[in-house]
Structure 1
Amino acid sequence: MQKTDNQKKMDSPPLNRLYIGLVLAILVTETAVMLVFHVFLETWHLSPLAEGLTNSLVLVIFLLPVLHFSFYRPVSSQIARYKQALESIQELQTIYGVIIRTAMDGFWLIDIMGRILEVNDSYCRLTGYSRQELLAMSVFDLRAQEKPEDTKRHIQRIIESGGDRFESHHRCKDGRIVDLEVSVNYLDVDGGRLFAFLRDITERKLVEREMTELNILNQVLVKTIPFGMDVVDAEGNVLYLSPRLEALFGKEAIGKKCWELYKDDKIQCKDCPLKSTTAAGLTDTIETFGVFGGRSVQISHTSMEYQGKKVLLEIFQDITERKRYEEELIAANHELVKLERMKTEFITTVSHELRTPLGIMREGVSQVVEGLHGEITEGQRQYLGKSLGHMERLTRIVNSILEIANLEAGKIGLRMESVDIAALAREMIRMFEPAAQNKNVEIRAHFSSRGEPLCSPEKIVLRGDRNKLGQVFIHLIDNAVKFSEKGHIEIQIQETADTVECVVSDTGRGMTKEASANVFDKFQQFGREYGPGQKGVGLGLAITKGIIELHKGRIWIESEFGKGTKVSFSLPKG
């Protein structure tokens, strides 16, 4: 490395002084010796040769101390100091080299032409290039999004100013663009060198961009949301108003108490969160009336920090119309409950009133058919038999209507006892076997306990109301027989540790998915055919569902049109 002008100026004066002092010392010493010995040599009358030798010997004897003190000692001292300074410089170079190589930031040494002369490991890791690859490149090869002529002008400005600090974009080996913060200084050595430290700020810039976008989004939201928003301190003083509220109250509202600004009575809300502590990040909501001129408002409060102090963010939503609709809905609901109660009472009353005359009529017709009031013709017997059948059907309908009304009113209780549901199912099967055989439909039964087939004498016992559970099997098996023209009906009962699951499936006409979704609703008759024959009113499955739910069980149906239906229900054993 060449010395600078300042270094040359610092080194030159000692050498010049040493050289001049040495010459003067020799000149003075030689002159003094020659004058002194010339006087003595003349009295000795020596030959010219002896005189010259003696003169030289004396001159050497006197010059040696002069040379020692005037030249040797200063030069030796200067050399020692130079070696010490050189060792210090080499030690500093080693330390600086280690610091640069191990620095977390990248490091460059480039010349004024932009050629890379030195680079550390951090920059190699950052860009993915090896050290050898980078030493064969220039700054123009790495700086992205900047034209070479702009880079040259930038280097010239750094040389003129002595340094700069700026942000730049560098292209990595894999094509990525990284954001860097660059600190560079120029030194006028070896034709000009630029020392640069480069810090990766890609993550920071990404966060800054996200924060900028989020800030823009927040500003847009604040301007566009259909709610008022403010920020108040612990004393209720307004610190910020959203554009919507600012347009309503003006900027002079800042600093006023929020209740004096918004409440019609200028009194703080009784349940105001300022009277209690709201945890940071949590939101409390209150509803209040008499805000903004008789409006009902829902206010959401969130604790946060703003301008270095704990504050509440308040969001105001006008719920005046919603509260009006709620009041209307509550009134309508009360009216519906009243109508439902009246309907239930009407159905119950009518059903009771119908059962009495129906019973009397059925008993009277039965006595006539049995001949208790005299002989009748066969034609009369058949006609009265049909009438008796219709009376019995009408009685069943009245009983069904009364039962569903009582279920909905919660007036039906259960007589809980231990029930052998397997025996109950066998009894119901025997009841419907004649009707099934008339339609060439086979009824099958398959009972199992914990996966093992159940033999006939064995039981499956649960707690329930035997009559109600029998009614469930009657409704399900009756529907299966009614809607099956061929094939078979299968009743399955499977016992597990805690429940009993029952299935009644058939190969009948089935139903669509749309029909299956509403099959447990009242008065639903899917697949009903008009014409003669017994018909129901669509209450069987609704009653069945009510009975199962009274037993804390559940019921569901699977059906496919043209392939059959499977109704399953499960009951707790306890």
Structure 2
Amino acid sequence: MGSPYGFCFARDISERKRVEGALREANEALEQRVRERTAELERQSRRTELILANTNDGFFAVDPAGRLRDANAAFARLLGYTRDELLQLSIPDIEVDESPDDVAAHIERVRREGFDRFDTRHRRKDGSVVPVEVSVSEVLLAGEPLLFAFVRDITQRQAAHRQLQAAKEEAERANLAKSEFLSRMSHELRTPLNAILGFGQLLGLSATAEQAAHVREIVAAGRHLLTLIDEVLDLARVESGQLSVSPDAVALLPLLHECLKLVRPQADARGVQLLQPPGTCHVHVRADRTRLKQVLLNLLSNAVKYNRPLGSVSVACVAEPGHVSIRVSDTGAGLTAEQCARLFVPFERLDAEARQIQGTGIGLALTKRLVELMGGTVGVESTRGVGSTFWVRLALAAPPASDAPAESPPPVPTAADGVVPREVLCIEDNPANLRLIEGIFATRRDIRLLTAIAPGLGLELARVHRPALILLDIGLPDMDGFAVLECLRRSEATRGIPVVAVSANAMPRDVERAKAAGFDAYLTKPLDIAQLLRVVDEMLGRAAR
């Protein structure tokens, strides 16, 4: 007989239900995040497609084999294909400047380095060529490496570059023509002035008291004309960018003393007192010494010219952080604000004509350009009826290291009896200039002058006589001075003779070319007789060592 009882087993599944619920919630959350991420990717994809579809730049994607996998409408329009036609092509089909092997190597380089930007040319469907700029980078898309390239048509950019290059070349040709014109004008103006000033100086050596006064007028007028010529040519060179400066540490106080000494005769003639600069000027400034001297002489000369009789001119130096201002003050009539605004304009002379003051109105304009070339500034302060102060502001410079003691100057030969004359050969084709040289050396008993009016004769005299020095004109007929110098240097008999260039070509490039060619010195016409004799004595003293 069976048992009246049955067995029932029960198990608590609360934990399982809780875990199942948690898993279900986690799955639902994960599915939600996947849906959200998918939607975000779809939005990004649509946004990317929208950007690529509407951008003006072309876009294409290629696989590592160089086959086009995608392209936007702009790239299709650029090359004249439909998008479907483009996707049947490879890079070698559209690339003009690279062979298939070059394309493969370029793709490998981009994959290795990750990015590249370059200019190239693409071939359109109709066979025409378009210049493009390509920016390409490697990306991984669904695990597949692709190269994304953005393409920009640079036809207009290249056309603008060609126009700019053509304009630059035209400007360079214009500058060269201007430079040639300035050089020719300098030569043509200086050649007659050489005779005027040279013979004027010679006349002054033996003139009577009455004649001496006339000679002084001739020489003064000639030098004034030379100054005007130099100022006009300097201003033209500055404005055409052909005048350069060589900034260095310049001791200011000695330069000021030198300039005041040069201006003193002009000041004495007008009864103007020149006050000595104070000790605050004992500094070094960064400037081109020659050009700074030109600036200071112009300011000091103007301060004398536009001063009142028995007035004064003073120089002051005001220290500023890293700079110094050089102030040149006069006790003249002063200027109005309107006149000050016009001062640095070329050929602006204010009321100078009415006051019969010589000049062209170039000096201050040139001064401004020169100071700016040296990295400085220039200005004026003036009070009507009191006077004016012109200032130049330049950077301070550290004093240079002490130089080695200068060599003693070479002994100057005397004309005493018994001295054997040294031969100096002058090769010059202009008869007036040749007579001037003969007149200069007529009183030098220690020098025997040889002259030649043609290059060939000059070379023959040099070979036969082997003079101690040769004065050589540059602008000779048949062969210029550079060719003559080359012949002299090639000959064993004449290669060691010092040669001094004497020329009316006074442009900086002319001087630099002569130095590079091997001339021992360069003298410009109109000749300064004292300078010529100093150079001759220096060369003869050097040759005698």
The TM-score with structure 2 as length reference comes to 0.49
**Structure 1 length as normaliser, TM-score?**
0.47
Could you say which structure has the greater relative contact order, defined with CA pairs below 8 angstroms and 6 or more residues apart?
2
